[in-house]
């Protein structure tokens, strides 16, 4: 019994190391492949943020593709603000999950990236509103700590929900 348990732990450890290795490798590969598009993503995010701010009544004026004035505040969408790293990490963790079909991975990545994009866009719009209507220190705190933490929790939540739907489908398939 003890020997069997040791073998199970060794197998789990091996599976965990394999998962982390594949996850890290995929993250690096995806970053190298998609990093040339980071400027384009910054421009798209800036454009969408300006549009949303305009719709909710915040005057904006475009300075360039990644900078704009919102009220009397200069806003710049940095590479980190664009959300590419979060999208890459989510796609990598989904691709590294070995127990899920390729089609389920593709669907999860598409939906997950869309959710990350929308959440990130909302985060930017709310932060801009805080810069305009609250103190800089409060806006900085929520941007640096609260929203980054929520984004991390959101990534885990998306991955967990994706994995859970796979587990539920697998359980139904095996019970029938």
pLDDT of res. 173: 45
For each successive 10 residues of the chain (176 residues), what is the average pLDDT?
71 89 96 95 96 95 94 91 93 93 93 93 91 87 80 89 70 46
Predicted model pTM? 0.83
pLDDT of res. 91: 96
Q: What angle do CA 82, 52, 39 make, to 5 degrees?
A: 25
- The structural domains of the chain, with segments of one domain joined by +, span 2-34+80-175
Residues in the chain: 176
Angle of helix 84-96 relative to helix 2-34, nearest 10 degrees, comes to 140
**In whole angstroms, what is the distance from residue 12 CA to residue 15 CA?**
5
Measured between alpha carbons, how far apart are the two ends of the chain, in Å? 32
Neighbouring CB atoms inside 10 A of 106's CB total 13
8 Å CB contact between 68 and 75 = yes
pLDDT of res. 175: 47
pLDDT of res. 170: 46
pLDDT of res. 166: 62
């Amino acid at each position: 019994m003890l020997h069997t348990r040791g073998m199970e732990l060794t197998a789990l450890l091996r599976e965990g190391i394999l998962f982390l290795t594949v996850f890290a490798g995929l993250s690096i590969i995806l970053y190298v492949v998609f990093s040339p598009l980071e400027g384009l993503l910054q421009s798209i995010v800036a454009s969408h943020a300006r549009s949303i701010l305009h719709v909710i009544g915040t005057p904006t004026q475009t300075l360039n593709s990644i900078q704009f004035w919102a009220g009397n505040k200069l806003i710049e969408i940095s590479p980190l603000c664009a959300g590419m790293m979060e999208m890459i990490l989510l796609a990598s963790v989904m691709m590294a999950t070995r127990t899920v079909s390729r089609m389920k991975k593709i669907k999860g990545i598409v939906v997950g990236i869309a959710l990350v994009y929308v959440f990130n866009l909302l985060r930017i719009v709310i932060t801009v509103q805080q810069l305009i209507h609250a103190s800089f220190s409060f806006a900085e705190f929520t941007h640096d700590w609260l929203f980054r933490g929520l984004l991390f929790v959101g990534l885990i939540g998306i991955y967990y929900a994706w994995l859970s739907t796979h587990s539920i489908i697998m359980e139904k398939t095996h019970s029938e």
